[in-house]
Amino acid sequence: MFRVEAPKEILTIRERRRKLGITQSKLAKYSGVSQSLIAKIEAGKVDPSYSKAVKILQALDELESRNTPKAEEIMTSRVISVSAGETIKKTIHLMEKYNISQLPVMRGNHPIGMITEKNILSHILGGHNPRKLAETSVEKVMDEAPPQVPDTTPLDTITKILHDYPAVLITRKEKIIGIITKADLLKLLRY
């Protein structure tokens, strides 16, 4: 006879509950299962039914999301951007003035790209004449637009996005209200 191992998520219940600082009784109340079932699961004495496991894991997810900062708490409200037709020279001036390394590129109120120090430098290092590049429009050098997420998006989702993008635009009712960059995550370490 073979033994089927419990899914990894089940094995994390105790750790996640303790990290939240709640008792087995509180988790039982939130998830709608008995405290004794949670105790048995945590001790490895019982494998819960699928529906009970889902209830417990969903309760943990909800409790964790309540404790996780949301985008609106982390974002920089002042979004400094550049229009698609602006020159690289003007863009570099804005970057220096505001001490930032990337700017959303806008056409009207809609983001159409992202211009970064990195992609400007890659054009220079790629052999483009710096004087000609300075007069080039941003839209000829920009990268794709950064992702947009609602202001209620939890921090863990934002950090996953920032693995692949230099910034995330924050929206409320389809209007851009802020930006989060990797530098904003470093600010969290100060608190």
Whichever domain contains 23, its CATH number is 1.10.260.40
Instruction: Answer yes or no: do 85 and 56 share one domain.
Output: no
Domain annotation covers residue 180: yes
| 137: containing domain | 71-190
Q: Is the CB of residue 103 less than 8 Å from the CB of residue 75?
A: no
What's the confidence (pLDDT) of residue 87? 97
Q: Of the ranges 63-67, 68-72, 100-104, which is most confident?
A: 100-104
Do 91 and 144 fall within a single domain?
yes
Task: Look up the pTM and report it.
Answer: 0.69
Judge contact between 83 and 94, C-beta under 8 A.
no
Residue at 2 is within a domain: no
| pLDDT at res. 185 | 86
Whether 54 and 78 share a structural domain: no
Q: Looking at the predicted structure, is the pLDDT value of residue 35 above 90?
A: yes
Q: Is the predicted pLDDT of residue 67 greater than 80, yes or no?
A: no
Structure confidence at residue 65 (pLDDT): 76
Q: Do residue 143 and residue 166 come from a single domain?
A: yes
pLDDT of res. 3:
45
**Which residue blocks in the chain are alpha helix, DSSP H?**
8-11, 13-20, 24-31, 35-43, 50-67, 71-74, 88-98, 117-125, 130-134, 155-162, 182-187
Is 1 domain-assigned? Answer: no
Choosing from 51, 67, 83, the residue where a domain stops is 67
Number of domains into which the chain is organized: 2
Average pLDDT over residues 151-168: 92
For residue 54, give Cα distances in angstroms to 7, 73, 112: 11, 29, 40
Chain centroid to CA 105: how far? 20
User: Does residue 2 surpass a pLDDT of 50?
Assistant: no
Looking at the structure, tell me whether residues 164 and 121 fall in a common domain.
yes
